[in-house]
Structure 1
C-alpha cells in the first residue's frame, strides 16, 4: 500500500539542533507559515500518498501523523504545497488517493498502513511513527471526512477546512479547529458555523479566513499554512509557542484581524 514511486522535493536540511534534542522538536520561533527545518520526500502508494521528512529513517524521534482527505474530484497533488509544508515541520502526512473521501475509509487505512510500517524493520518508517499523536484534516468533502474520522479513537485533534455537510460532529471527542473562507460560495461560512455551534461538547474554535474563497487553499496554501501548522504543532508536538495562537486570554488569532474576518471560541476552550 505504501510502496511505489518516491519523489524527493528540495528543502532545507535537518538542523543539528533537531537531531540532538531527542524527543523535542525544534522551535521555529513562531514562524509557522514558512517551511520547517526538515527536507521532505513523497511516496506515492496505491491507497495513500505520504509526505514526510526525507531523512526520517535516521531521525532521533518518532514523528506525529496527519491524515488528509481531499475535496470532491481532487487528489493529493492539488494540496501538495500544504502537505509538504506540514512534512517540513516534522509530520508524516498520509493523504488519501481518492476524490470521494467523505467516509474516511482511505484515511483510516493510512493509519493502519503506517502502523504496519512502524513495525516493519524493512521500512524507512520502522520505529519512527508516533502512533499516539495523530491528527485529521481535509478540505471540502475531505473536511467532512476529517470530522467523520475524528470519531476514531486513534485521532487526537481535527482541522475540518471548509467542510461539506455529510458529517456528524457529535461523534467527535477531540479538539476541533473549524476553518471557513469569508467569500466561500460553495461551503458558505454559515455551514461551518453550524458545525461549530454543534460542537458544544468539545473544545472548538471557528476561524473565518479573511478574503478566502473555496479554492484559496489550492496550490499555494497562503493564509491556511500558518494556523494549521501551529494547531498541529501544539496538539501533536507540544509546541508551547503555538498554544498561544489559540488558547488563553492572549489568543493570537483572536486579535489578528488582518488574517481573520471572524473568530469564535466555545466555553470549553481554555
Structure 2
C-alpha cells in the first residue's frame, strides 16, 4: 500500500509515471504489444480557458493505493486528492472514475492527478469492467462514509453534494449509468470514447444490471460526451438514422438525451481510443498523441459543474463557447446557457 504526495509540477509528472502495461481497445479481447511511439511535441492550448485549466492546479496531490476498500463486488480504490485537504475551510468535490475494458486506475494516473491538483477528490475502483456504473456509485458512497468519520483523512472535507462521474470506453457507459441510476447522487457525467451501442450487449452485467445505456433515463444533471476522430470504437457520427441502426455514435447519444438537459459534445481531432491513457506520452496500444489535449476542457467542465466556476463555463456556452470554436476539436454542440 502507498500514500504519497506528488507536487503539481508538469515536468516532474511528465517524467514520473508511464504506462507499463499494454491496454486494449474495447473490442480487443487480449492485450496487444506494440512498439512505443515517439513522444509527441509539447502541446500548446489554442484558447485562454483551455490554457488556464490545462496548467496544473494550485494543490499538491497525494495518492492512496492499496488502502481503501471495498466496492460491493470486492474491489479496492485508488484515490488522488489535494495533499492539504480542507485548507482554508475548503470542502472538495468528488469525481468518481470508471476504467475502460481491461484497464486499471494506474493507466489514467496522469489525468486523475491533474484533476486532483484543481481541488477534486478523485476515486477509482480497481475493476476492469465498469459499464454498469455500480462500482462508481459504490466509490461515491465510500467517500460519503469517510466524510462522516472524524478519524478519516477525508473527515469533514468532502462536498458530498458535488459529485461527478467520468469514465473511458466501457467506463463512459458506467459514468452515464451512474448519473442515470444514482438517484441524484451524481450531478454530472463525462463520457470519454464511449463505445457504440452495438457493443454493449456483449459486456458483462453486474448484479443484474446491464452496461447498456438509456439516454431518456437521464432526467437531471448534465452530460459532456467526448470522442476522438480516429477512434472507430466511438465514432462521432453515423451514416444511417438511429431509428434504423440504433445509437452508434456520439451524436446519436447526444441527440437522444432530453432536449432541455444541459449537455455538450465534441470530438478531439486525431485522437485514438486510448490517448486518454497517455502519461502524457504514448507507450500503449491505440494512442498517438497522449492525454495533454484532453486536460483543459475536462478540468473546466468539472470546475463549472461542481465548483460553479463562471470562467470555466464560458468554454461550453451554446453558439459562443470557446470549445465550439477551438481548432483542435470538431463536431461540437452544446445546450449550455448562462
Whether TM exceeds 0.5 here: the answer is yes
1:42 shift after superposition: 0.8
- Structure 2 contact 90–157 (Cα < 8 Å) conserved: yes
Q: Distance in 2 between matches of 1:8 and 1:106?
A: 25
Among 168, 171, 191, the residue aligned to 2:214 = 168
Give distance in 2, aligned partners of 1:200 and 1:133.
22
Alignment of 1:5 with 2:2, yes or no, is yes
Distance 1:29 1:60 in 2: 28
Question: 2:43: which partner in 1?
Answer: none
- 2:167 and 2:318 map into 1 onto residues whose CA distance is 26
Partner of 1:178: 225
Aligned-residue offset at 1:200: 2.9
Q: Is the contact made by 2:193 and 2:228 (CA closer than 8 Å) also made in structure 1?
A: yes
Q: Which has the larger radius of gyration?
A: 2
Contact 1:150 / 1:171 at 8 angstroms: preserved in 2?
A: no
- Measured on the aligned residues, the alpha-carbon RMSD in Å equals 1.8
Q: Are 2:115 and 1:69 aligned?
A: no
Q: Which moved more, 1:197-206 or 1:220-229?
A: 197-206
Decide whether aligned partners of structure 1 residues 243 and 102 sit closer, same or farther in structure 2, where only a CA change above 3 A counts: same
**Which has the higher relative contact order, 1 or 2, with Cα contacts under 8 A spaced 6 or more apart?**
2
Aligned residue number for residue 32 of structure 1: 53
Aligned residue pair count: 250
Deviation at residue 193 of structure 1 after TM alignment: 1.5
- Separation in structure 2 between the aligned mates of residue 261 and residue 139 of structure 1, nearest angstrom: 19
Match of 1:148 among 177, 180, 185: 177
Q: Provide the secondary structure at the position in 1 that maps to 2:185.
A: coil
Please point out which of 136, 152, 157 is paired with 2:165: 136
**SS state of the match for residue 150, structure 1?**
helix
Q: Provide the C-alpha distance between the structure 1 equivalents of 2:223 and 2:329, rounded to a whole number of angstroms.
A: 17
Per-residue deviation, residues 102-153 of structure 1 (Å, max 9, x unmatched): 1112111111111111111111111100001001100000000000001111
- Could you tell me which runs of 5 or more consecutive residues in structure 2 were left unpaired when the two chains were aligned: 10-48, 70-75, 198-211, 238-248, 281-290
2:330 to 253, 261, 264: 261
Aligned 8 A contact 1:8 1:40 in 2: yes
Distance 1:199 1:29, change over 3 A: closer
Aligned-partner Cα distance in 1 for 2:337–2:221? 12
Gaps of at least 5 residues in structure 1 are 13-27
Q: Superposed, which structure 2 residues align to 1:84-233 within 5 Å?
A: 84-151=113-180, 152=182, 153-164=184-195, 165=197, 166-172=212-218, 173-190=220-237, 191-201=249-259, 202-219=261-278, 220=280, 221-233=291-303
Alpha-carbon deviation of 1:60?
Answer: 1.6
SS at match of 2:115: helix
Change (3 A) 1:119 1:5: same
Aligned counterparts of 2:320 and 2:226: Cα–Cα separation in 1: 20
Per-residue deviation at 1:57? Answer: 5.1
Matches of 2:88 and 2:104, distance apart in 1: 29
Q: Which residue of 2 aligns with 1:18?
A: none
Please list the CA deviations of residues 45-66 of structure 1 after superposition, one character each: whole Å capped at 9, or x if unmatched.
3422111001115452100000
